[in-house]
Amino acid sequence: MDGLNVSIAFFLVVVGVCQVLRWLSKRLLSPGTRGCLAREFAGSFQLCMSSLELRMLMEIGPWGGGFGLDVVLTLLFLLSAVHGASFDGASANPTVSLQEFLLLESSLAATAAKLLAQAAGTGTGWAVTRLYWSWELTQLHFIQNLIAPECSSSIHASLPHAASVEGCCSFLFHLVLLKVRQSHPLYRVPSLAATVTFLTYTAGPFTGAFFNPALATATTFHCSGNSFWDYIQVYWLGPLAGMLAALLLFQGNIPRLFQKNLLYSQKSKYKVPKAKVTAQAEGDKPQQQRKGRKSNSEPRA
């Protein structure tokens, strides 16, 4: 269990360092685009490092560390909750940033900048985690260093099946996100954490259940077993299709592409009761009659 304690300490250090980065960005950068990009970098950095260490525990822990999958899933839920509470508005996920663009909440330039910041944060997190593993602080890290050069693909199904799995995970995640994104954090954070944990448990054996293109790129694109185009289909096109399907189902349209609602009929928010309209119409008739009588009683020349 010493290896698990070291990993928990690693998670705490990573979250603490990223919180310092966010605090410095608020003090030193403007609250506009630069601050947003700094938050995206810090969030992607934190998510990548935590996910790599957690996947190492998931793969090696059951036979090299003496703890089961229940421990790893508990850590996954807690880390997902910590990420949701500490990201400070950042998504650290390209499909979420593209969803904001399609909802007219972000411009094209801002979305492209977010994607670059996420790529930079994820790449930096991958490099720092590999450096941390090279120190071999525990037996788990020693084993990880031995198998890292010969890592295998996380795709353990046919390409159509794997792309469908990642697409379904992205669909469910974005559907929950759209539902709770305006809710109070006490409700939003555990809901998203529980969704991520459930999807990882159910879809992990097939594709690793990333449903985050940037995270998948840093984690498994360099592994042998599949071509680069195979990874693009599963980990980029699959999640993008799932996000679009969730947005279309939730909204009925995609505001950036077309305004017409394809699924749901649009009704006016303000309804006037029919009885009230009838009463007003009947009340107007006597006034019109009185006006007519008054005009008839006027002397004619």
pLDDT in tens, 130-154: 999 999 999 999 999 888 888 889 9
pLDDT number for residue 264: 82
pLDDT number for residue 260: 83
pLDDT number for residue 301: 37
Residue 167 lies in a domain: yes
Mean pLDDT value across residues 173-200 = 95
Report in angstroms the alpha-carbon separations of 128 from 39, 75, 247.
18, 21, 35
Contacts 24+ apart (CB under 8 A), 150-153: 150/224, 151/220, 151/222, 151/223, 151/224, 152/223, 152/224, 152/225, 153/220, 153/223, 153/224, 153/225, 153/226, 153/231
Q: How many angstroms separate the CA atoms of 140 and 150, rounded?
A: 16
228: containing domain: 1-251
Residue 256 lies in a domain: no
The DSSP bridge partners found for residue 152 are: 224
pLDDT number for residue 288: 52
3-state secondary structure of 182: coil
pLDDT number for residue 293: 52
Please tell me the total count of domains within the chain.
Answer: 1
Mean pLDDT value across residues 112-128 = 96
How confident is the model over 234-262, as pLDDT tens digits?
A: 999 999 999 999 999 999 999 998 888 87
Does residue 287 carry a pLDDT above 80?
no
Backbone angles phi, psi at 152, to 5 degrees: -110, 160
Does residue 205 carry a pLDDT above 80?
yes
Structure tokens at 4: 């698990």
Residues 6 or more apart whose CB falls under 8 angstroms from that of 249 comprise: 175, 263
Q: How many angstroms separate the CA atoms of 173 and 184, rounded?
A: 18
pLDDT number for residue 270: 46
Percentage of the chain modeled with pLDDT above 70? 87
User: Which of 118 and 266 is assigned the larger pLDDT?
Assistant: 118
User: Which of 46 and 300 is assigned the larger pLDDT?
Assistant: 46
Residue 144 lies in a domain: yes
What is the rounded average pLDDT for all residues in the chain? 87
Residues 6 or more apart whose CB falls under 8 angstroms from that of 206 comprise: 155, 156, 157, 161, 162, 165
Mean pLDDT value across residues 184-205 = 95
How confident is the model over 61-103, as pLDDT tens digits?
A: 877 667 888 999 999 999 999 999 999 889 999 999 999 999 9
CATH number at 46 reads 1.20.1080.10
pLDDT number for residue 266: 64
Residue 276 lies in a domain: no
pLDDT number for residue 283: 56
Q: How many angstroms separate the CA atoms of 146 and 62, rounded?
A: 17
Report in angstroms the alpha-carbon separations of 151 from 50, 73, 154, 155.
19, 22, 9, 12
Instruction: Taking the CA atoms of 185, 191, 192 and 197 in sequence, report the sign of the dihedral they define.
Output: positive
pLDDT number for residue 269: 44
Residue 270 lies in a domain: no
Residue 289 lies in a domain: no
